[in-house]
Amino acid sequence: MGRMRCAIVGSGNIGTDLLYKLLRSDVLEVAAMVGIDPASEGLARAGAEGVETTSEGADWLIENAAGFDLVFEATSAWVHRLNAPRYREAGLTAIDLTPAKLGPLVVPPVNLDTHLDSPNLNLITCGGQATVPIVAAVGAVAPVPYAEIVSTVSSVSAGPGTRQNIDEFTKTTSASLVEVGGADHGKALMILNPAEPPILMRNTVFCALGDGYDREEVADSITEMVRTVASYVPGYRIKAEPVFDEDLFRTPGGDVKARVVVLLEVEGAADYLPPYAGNLDIMTASAVRVAEAMAAAR
Amino acid sequence: MTAAFRLTDSTLRDGSHAVAHQLTEDQVRRVVAGLDGAGVPVIEVTHGDGLGGSSFNYGFSHTDEMNLVRVAVETATKSKIAVLMLPGIGVKDDLRRVAGMGVRVARIATHCTEADISEQHIALAKELGMEAVGFLMMSHMIEPEALLEQARLMESYGADVVYTVDSAGAMTIDDARRRVATLKAGLSCEVGIHAHNNLSLAVANSLAALEEGVDQIDGCMTGLGAGAGNCPTEVLVAACEKTGWETAIDPISLIEVADRAVRPIRPEQGVIDGDGLLLGYAGVYGSFLLHAKRAAERYGVPTRDILLELGERRVVGGQEDMIIDVAMELQHRAASAQPAAI
């Protein structure tokens, strides 16, 4: 069987970073990059790599659907809400990199196998991809009544799509901490930092710990998960050992006597934007991971 | 008589920082009754970090802010109740909820270079029939012309007023004057100033802003607020009256409200201690103060070093998680700097 034929819809930061990762894949073929602005840099770069490009948007893709197996949506949440039913009708499987949250939420090391045959998979947000694995790792060995994450990205790495999506970002990421991470309650915070030179993507995970956890077990589970994520996002790392704080914390999941704090950093592979943009990297690396698993399961 | 500017009191929002978000319904009832009785036109009530701020990162609220907002709306007879919301922390559903509860003013805050993340929220506030306020935090970090560009974005989204916000209390009188003058010259909507007192200039900066034509000013009773505290509302009103700026508020009754309803919440408010001063001097977000003190205790490193390092890294409002990161790094650095045993 030949390589899976993929279309990237959206020629902004995410779409362009994804382009370079897909070009390296042995099982996926970038058959087209679909944009709406003929002057976009992403389309020019795709063209330079010999990839077919169009500025006629999703309409073009629907007309030519027979030539594709898979579409990566790298536009924005509201655009995906318009496109998704049309993809489905045209028989295209969609991997959604916007926070539209139409299909099941997928985080590769947590629940990839469960949703491989779904017609629409949602990759949550960069913050979700970076933090849900940690919440799930803590949850695997201890009760987590409440999980909270803070995701900070450099201003220059957040394009207009991300900025207009900030509300969806916050809500979808919060939901993923519960739906995929397994916490009883979840909350996500997103911060943009304009410092120059730009900061690397930062994520902080706070997990409330119910009674009966074992520090060593929790720490080991986190370390193991960091290693798993780093296997497909090489720049993903923990900044310091997990910090255990004992105090009375009055969380939305009830009063707890302890929490664990995990400080994470994501350095990008610099496929498109420089290394500070780990937020692009973790989304596109996760998307490739999901698509390659689909190809393997065919 | 008409007032020379519109006053918004933020004791029950910015003041939330000063008490680690432990405000109670009873305190809200008493403060709102006092401010409403004295004729303060707008009163802001929420967690210090705005709607949805209750969290590990910023501190959990003692009382659900929705209950505090409800009590404020019920207590006020003339004053409008306002809320703060930071896109990325609060969500649009929070705005819908408070609009339904009778909140009339939505203040949408972003870091001073990130105004474009407020588009959805300012538009929604207008759609819900609320006044929309654009709130550009840490305004000292960029030049007046750059601030104007960001303010114009907020105006274009529908903001009725755009504030220059001195979140770090780092502005000199000239800094405040130039920012207000530039915004006044370049915007058609109103302009506001929100001052902090780290350099003991909050009232002076607000008076200078009046000379440049500012339309709205924020204060907090007794200065109760983040960092070294805010522009003290009762002091501002008294100083305005003496200078000849009409406030339409009786200074004597406001002083009584300050002493009776607010001073007991935090009697030591008003002292600019070394750490508070350092925030203004180094230009660090005021709300970090209590978190840095707690981290200093938890990880055994000086508060001062944490604050200076945060300033060095140009951390912005909302990045309270960086305090843990910095404290741990300082702890680590101190440990590895110990002379080796011989």
Kindly list the domain boundaries of chain B, sorted by start residue.
Answer: 6-265, 287-336
The reply to whether A169 and A41 lie within a common domain is no
Give one DSSP letter per residue of A122-139, joined into a string.
Answer: E---HHHHHHHHHHHHHH
**CATH 3.90.550.10 at B287-336, yes or no:** no
The yes-or-no verdict on residue A5 having pLDDT over 80 is yes
The reply to whether A216 and A106 lie within a common domain is no
The reply to whether A130 and A272 lie within a common domain is yes
ipTM, 2 dp: 0.93
Q: Which CATH architecture has domain B6-265?
A: Alpha-Beta Barrel (3.20)
Q: Smallest CA–CA separation between A157 and chain B, in Å?
A: 12
Is B321 within 8 Å of A150 when comparing Cβ atoms?
Answer: yes
Instruction: Specify the CATH number for the domain of residue A165.
Output: 3.30.360.10
The yes-or-no verdict on residue B340 having pLDDT over 70 is no
Give one DSSP letter per residue of chain A, joined into a string.
Answer: --PEEEEEE--SHHHHHHHHHHHT-SSEEEEEEE-S-TT-HHHHHHHHTT-EEESSHHHHHHHTGGG-SEEEE-S-HHHHHHHHHHHHHTT-EEEE-STT--S-B--HHHHGGGGTT-SEEE---HHHHHHHHHHHHHHTTS--S-EEEEEEEEGGG--HHHHHTHHHHHHHHHHHHHHTT--SSEEEEEEEE--SSPPPEEEEEEEEE-SS--HHHHHHHHHHHHHHHHTTSTTEEESSSPEEEEEEEEETTEEEEEEEEEEEEE----SSS-TT-HHHHHHHHHHHHHHHHHHHH-
- Rounded CA separation A256/A261 (Å): 14
Q: Which residues of B touch A250 (CB under 8 A)?
A: 60
Residue scoring higher pLDDT (B340 or B88): B88
State pTM to two decimals: 0.94
The reply to whether A271 and A291 lie within a common domain is no
What pLDDT score does B1 carry? 65
Q: Give percent of chain A above pLDDT 90.
A: 91
Q: What is the mean pLDDT of residues A100-125?
A: 95
Domain count, chain A: 2
The reply to whether A164 and A76 lie within a common domain is no
Is B88 within 8 Å of A191 when comparing Cβ atoms?
Answer: yes
User: Residue B339: which pLDDT band, with cuts at 50, 70 and 90?
Assistant: low
Q: Which residues of A touch B88 (CB under 8 A)?
A: 166, 169-170, 189-192
The reply to whether A166 and A27 lie within a common domain is no
Q: Which residues of B touch A243 (CB under 8 A)?
A: 324, 328
Strand residues in chain B grouped as ranges (E): 6-12, 42-45, 80-85, 105-111, 131-137, 161-165, 190-194, 216-219
- Rounded CA separation B267/A172 (Å): 42
What pLDDT score does A69 carry? 95
Q: What is the mean pLDDT of residues A149-177?
A: 91
Instruction: Specify the CATH number for the domain of residue A35.
Output: 3.40.50.720
The yes-or-no verdict on residue B78 having pLDDT over 80 is yes
Catalytic residues of B: 17
What pLDDT score does B337 carry? 75
Is A206 within 8 Å of B111 when comparing Cβ atoms?
Answer: no
Q: What is the mean pLDDT of residues A133-137?
A: 98
The yes-or-no verdict on residue A118 having pLDDT over 90 is yes
Q: Which residues of B touch A252 (CB under 8 A)?
A: 54
Q: Give percent of chain B above pLDDT 70.
A: 98
pLDDT in tens, A42-95: 999 999 999 999 999 999 999 999 999 999 999 989 999 999 999 999 999 999
Q: Smallest CA–CA separation between B35 and chain A, in Å?
A: 31
pLDDT in tens, A182-218: 999 999 999 999 998 899 999 999 999 999 899 999 9
pLDDT in tens, B207-242: 999 999 999 999 999 999 999 999 999 999 999 999
The yes-or-no verdict on residue A1 having pLDDT over 70 is no
- Max mean pLDDT range (B37-46, B287-296, B303-312): B37-46
Mutate to test the interface with B, among A138, A193, A246, A249 (most CBs of B within 10 A): A193
Whole-angstrom CA distances from A136 to A38, A111, A178 are: 42, 10, 9
The reply to whether A174 and A99 lie within a common domain is no
Q: Is B82 helix (H, G, I), strand (E, B) or coil?
A: strand
The reply to whether A249 and A272 lie within a common domain is yes
- Rounded CA separation A74/A12 (Å): 8
pLDDT in tens, A25-46: 999 999 999 999 999 999 999 9
Q: What is the mean pLDDT of residues B325-330?
A: 93
What pLDDT score does B309 carry? 93
The reply to whether A225 and A268 lie within a common domain is yes
Q: Indicate the average pLDDT of chain B.
A: 96
pLDDT in tens, B264-279: 999 999 889 999 999 9
- Rounded CA separation B112/B139 (Å): 5
Domain encompassing residue A72:
4-123+282-297
The reply to whether A152 and A260 lie within a common domain is yes
Q: Indicate the average pLDDT of chain A.
A: 95
The yes-or-no verdict on residue B155 having pLDDT over 60 is yes
What pLDDT score does B331 carry? 92
Lowest mean pLDDT of A157-166, A249-258, B64-73, B285-294, name the range. Answer: A157-166
Q: Smallest CA–CA separation between B160 and chain A, in Å?
A: 21
User: Residue B334: which pLDDT band, with cuts at 50, 70 and 90?
Assistant: confident
User: Residue B324: which pLDDT band, with cuts at 50, 70 and 90?
Assistant: very high
The reply to whether A174 and A248 lie within a common domain is yes
